[in-house]
Amino acid sequence: MPADGIWWAFFLTGAGMCFLVFLGYPASLFFLARIFPKRKRASSPGKMTEKSVSMLVVFRNAETLIEKKIHNFLQLKYPSDQLDLVLVSDGSTDASRQMAGAAETRNSRIRFFHFDAHQGKIACLNFGITQCKGDLIVLTDVDAILDSESISILNACFEDASIGGVCGRRVVGKTRSKIQSGQKQFIQWDTLIKKLEMENAMSITSHEGKLYAVRKSLYVTIPPGVTDDAFLSLSIVRQGYGFGFDPDAVASIPAPSRDTRHELMRRKRIVSTSLNGLWINRSLFNWRRYGFFSAGLFINKVLRRMVPVFLIFVFVSSLALSDFFPMAVCFWLQVIGYGYFFSYPLIWVRLPDTARGFGWAKKVAAVGYFFCVGMAGTLWGCIHFFSKEKISKWDPIKE
């Protein structure tokens, strides 16, 4: 009996924490917003002041993307005398360096800087900020194509003096990726969390690095080994300002991960560096000062990283308690479910999306497989974080 009690504790802890992360937190936000309706923090009533804006793009070996990015910048609907582009090449060895230099020669609104050696994105961001002239800094990736009104939408959010930063919404375009379907579902779920947090007039706890803007006066030097967008947004909240989200500011991107190996490596890096950033900003977990934001940050950024451990708790404890019929059912449902998800790259991915009667089954398998791969990468990232080895440089995969 004592042993059974321990296994029940493992099962209830694992199942309860998974429920809290995936359903409990968003459900709480939903009901709180309706019981205690609040004004959205990122609202922009009245006349909008068009502030000076510098767009900062750090890239490395992006010869297939840089010209599209420059063209996209020139098509943005914002006063040209209030908007400039700063390009920083992080040791590029392909033709992107020459392309960016030629664009600078043709247009005075574009300034280009190049590092001969690979510095890492964060070092280039810290340098690039010193070259930005605008009151607002818009940070975006070289593979993100912005809607023409995006800068105006982000600018409008800063009419609220309490807002120190705001991010836009990413949408995944057509990409040759076997796990694209699962990635889209994850992005939609993450976007829902942001919207619900905004409905509660709180700063968002999960941040979008493909498109975000900050007041230059609030920028702090980003240390190595962290996720730049998450660290910067948390530092703004720590300074007493809000960090918002506006889904109307849209950045179209390729699927973030190209294949299983890429997703594993990407998830490991993101989880490890984001945990480093949380540790540096751990004062934000002081609920007496930051209120419900602290609880949301802990659930959405700490407990979410621990979901792989909680899933292991549920699996192992349900096996240990399988003499009890309901727990045996629970265990075998997990075995069947994981088997079905991992069959995706072997069976389901070979079927066309239009296959009659199999479209729904293939979509579920794709989402489940992406979830499992993401959990494996998350666990790897947590282990890497505790190893205290920092990831400061990597070669981005944009193709």
pLDDT for 200-242, tens place per residue?
999 999 988 999 999 999 999 999 999 999 999 999 999 999 9
The answer to whether 370 touches 378, Cβ cutoff 8 Å, is no
Question: Does residue 88 sit within a domain?
Answer: yes
The predicted pLDDT at position 181 comes to 65
The answer to whether 86 touches 55, Cβ cutoff 8 Å, is yes
Question: Does residue 69 sit within a domain?
Answer: yes
Question: Does residue 116 sit within a domain?
Answer: yes
Q: What is the CATH number of the domain that holds 123?
A: 3.90.550.10
Inter-CA distances, 171 with 107, 140, 255, 256, 297, Å = 29, 14, 9, 10, 24
Q: Give the sign of the dihedral formed by CA 191, CA 196, CA 199, CA 205.
A: negative
Question: Does residue 253 sit within a domain?
Answer: no
Res 1 pLDDT > 50? no
pTM, entire model: 0.88
Question: Does residue 82 sit within a domain?
Answer: yes
Average pLDDT, the chain: 90
Question: Does residue 165 sit within a domain?
Answer: no
SS (H, E, C) 187-230: HHHHHHHHHHHHHCCCCCCCCCCCEEEEEHHHCCCCCCCCCHHH
The predicted pLDDT at position 394 comes to 66
Domain count, the chain: 1
Q: How far apart are the first and last CA of the chain?
A: 56
Domain holding 93, by residue range, is: 52-134
User: Residue 115 and residue 248: Cα distance in Å, rounded?
Assistant: 35
Question: Does residue 207 sit within a domain?
Answer: no
Residue 4 exposure: Cα atoms within 13 Å on the Cβ side: 6
Cβ neighbours for 57, distance < 8 A, ≥ 6 positions apart: 69, 85, 86, 87, 88, 140, 141, 142
Residues in the chain: 399
Question: Does residue 87 sit within a domain?
Answer: yes
Res 42 pLDDT > 60? no
